Amino acid sequence: MAVHEILKMGDPRLLRIAQPVTKFDSDDLHLLITDMLDTMRAANGAGLAAPQIGVDLQLVIFGSNDSNPRYPDRPAVPPTVLINPTVAPIGTEEESDWEGCLSVPGLRAVVPRWSRIRYTGFDQYGDPIDRTVDGFHARVVQHECDHLMGLLYPMRVRDFTQFGYTAVLFPGIAATEDD
């Protein structure tokens, strides 16, 4: 088990356009994913992108099958390894909801996202993934895939009156989370 340091906003490595993964089902790739899972679980995250631990690859993990103390009222998202993803909106509907990010500790904001998306990519074995999803699942995918384009959620915020410290906005939640 190897829990990595999570880079914080301001680190230029979070602003890069990530490189595609070219070799699947390799020892290096499996080790990277294991480390990312360990790191995400240790931080009670709903997702983690490889650039957040300084790895310049198009790889994200996300999902929560049981109660995540950072998002106690959110529906479960299937645990997923997603490599070289594409994300496209279905329709033009957007919805706004609260987001946080392990690279932006202690803060939350209301962020607009596409309500419904189709995403594609590959798992760690090179098998294709092609899903149409909505709601929180769609939000998590858009948030994580933004990391692969050098985008952090504060760059998506439109209403800065709904951006603040978790401990102030949600005193109950803040007591159970790490950041």
Nearer Cβ to Ni ion (61/101): 101
Whole-number minimum distance, CB 103 to Ni ion, in Å? 5
Q: Is 132 helix (H, G, I), strand (E, B) or coil?
A: strand
CB closer to Ni ion out of 32 and 101? 101
- Identify whether 95 is a catalytic site residue: no
* Cβ at position 87, least distance to Ni ion in Å: 15
Q: Which is nearer to Ni ion, 47 or 121 (CB)?
A: 47
| Residues lying near Ni ion in the complex (CB under 5 A) | 101
Q: Which helix (H) or strand (E) holds 166?
A: helix 166-169
Query: Nearest approach, Cβ of 27 to Ni ion (angstroms)?
Result: 27
Q: How many CB atoms lie within 10 A of CB 164?
A: 14
> 120 is written with which tokens?
């594609």
Residue of 5, 93, 99, 144 with catalytic role: 144
Residue nearest to Ni ion (CB): 101
Q: d(Cα 135, Cα 22) in Å, to the nearest integer?
A: 31
Radius of gyration from C-alpha coordinates of the chain: 15
Q: Are 47 and 140 in contact (CB under 8 A)?
A: yes
Catalytic residue numbers?
144
